A and B are shown apart, each in its own frame.
Chain A
Amino acid sequence: MFEDVNILSLIIILPVIGAILLSIFKVSDRSIKLIAATFTGITFALAIAMFADYDRSGGGMQFVEQYTWIESIDVQYYLGVDGLSAPMALLTAFLGFLCVFISWNITNRVREYFAWLLVLETSILGVFCSLDMVLFFIFWEIELIPMYFLIAVWGTEPPLGRREYSAVKYLLYTLLGSAGLLAGILTAYFEMGTWDMTQMGGLAVGLSLGMQTLIFFLIFFCFCVKLPMFPFHTWLPDAHTDAPTAGSVMLAGVLIKMGGYGMIRLVSIFPDVAKEYGWILVIMGIVGVLYGAAATLRQTDLKRLIAYSSVSHMGYVLLGIFALDKISISGAALQLFSHGVVTGLLFAMVGVVYGKTHERRIPYLGGLARQMPIACLIFSIAGLASLGLPLTSGFAAEFLIFTGSFKSTAVAGIEVYTILGIIGIVLTAGYILWMIERVFYQEPREQFDQLSDATVMERGVIFSLVIAIMVVGIFPNVLTDIIGKSVEPIMASLGL
């Protein structure tokens, strides 16, 4: 269907064209939002078409576009998606589209806001579609700037938040990670003579294990800051908490997933290093799960609570990836998608609640179920998906991770780690249910009597996210099929 069209380029470039149009033409705020919705909408439609057209039986890299870009240093404009990146690209386009509607009530510097939001979408799509390391790095870095501004300008105002502090913290952490990534890919280029991710896997075997380890950890450092892995997670609660709702949705939904996605690619390039040091990363994952969950229990700010729960859930991704089992890696990839939708929904729900009550501190909320039954219902569904209730996407992902890692042969003592990880689920149930109880039940408060429920537009957004959660929960094959196809070559290179 798309033989003659560079569909990936089109998907990547459309949002930024929207951003350029927005910044050139002075139009009314309403038209700005409509333009943003149009461009993200077309992008989303194209992403669906791309995903539907992806040849599931064939697997491998598809919709490949390869052109020489910077001749003197062999850099290519090289795009393509496989079973790992196609779902993430779809998710990015989906959330990008919804974020326009989530941001419908923005009134401050509207033009800039939507322009940055669109640039952000382009950069994340670019990360997931790039197959050339330099191109990957470039998109990885571009994403910083819009996110910095989204947090710093439209974030939570003092005294409730510290938006400028959080924005700079986010910027510096990510740049520090990028420093490792740049050093890593440069070293990799000179050792292997290519920036091409798809070829690196075959060439890396020729290097000494020491060199492989060096490159692996230089690059891994970048991804583990992004994911984030304990103890590099401290930027995340600040950034998520102080970002505007759409910013939080993009951050938690797809931005941090770039880290997990990168790790899976890294394992496919350096399987030997992954086998050698996987156990350390599994332990770090479990520490993250338990520490994150324990920290979540103590949070009193709604957004901070969900942010910390991300730290915990990303621990599962680490566990799944570095258990180095086919099922567990597929589970980790599915978890990336699932957590994106679920946390996106959770943050959208916080946005709905905050929009009505202007309050995020849990002790000052309560009894909202009476005024906001729909919000309460959807928040509960999101919470249950987050703790992995069957029929939700969270269950499918976590079930795959646990079954896969439990029987994994690559890491000694993995059974113990897996069981410790499962304890994390219990903690998750604890903080999610406790949070819902404190926010929506308990004694109703007088000052909230006049509140209305979610508006029609908000309902549209949150229902579509619920549908996505349910579809993946009930038919995980939609994704696991193609993810599994792309995990197979990784398993082959691992020799497991």
Chain B
Amino acid sequence: MAPAPPAALRDFELLVLLAVLGLKDDAYPVSIRDAIEQRTGRAPSRAAVFITLERLQEKGLVTSTFGDPTPVRGGRAKRFFRATRSGIAAAQQAVDQVSAMTAGLDAVLKRR
């Protein structure tokens, strides 16, 4: 049986997934939100990040594990997210699609 094609991603799902990939072993909601804010200049709501992570997990694109409790968090553990192989494939496909579509548009889009 041929492997299933990578799942299609919505805009915000792609941002969150890319943030998870970029943060490697340190991807948890707070850092993910910070990363998106730093790169895009706009902070998504905590609820949006939460639901998107849940949805990505349901699609099998990320997994989550719990870390150790830390004092700064009032003794609570972090919930770390990691992209799965199909998550990486889905992100790859989405980025490929965007770059395929943006090729030759440099003049119009004024890339910095």
> Are A and B part of the same complex?
no
Q: Chain A interface (Cβ within 8 Å of chain B)?
A: none
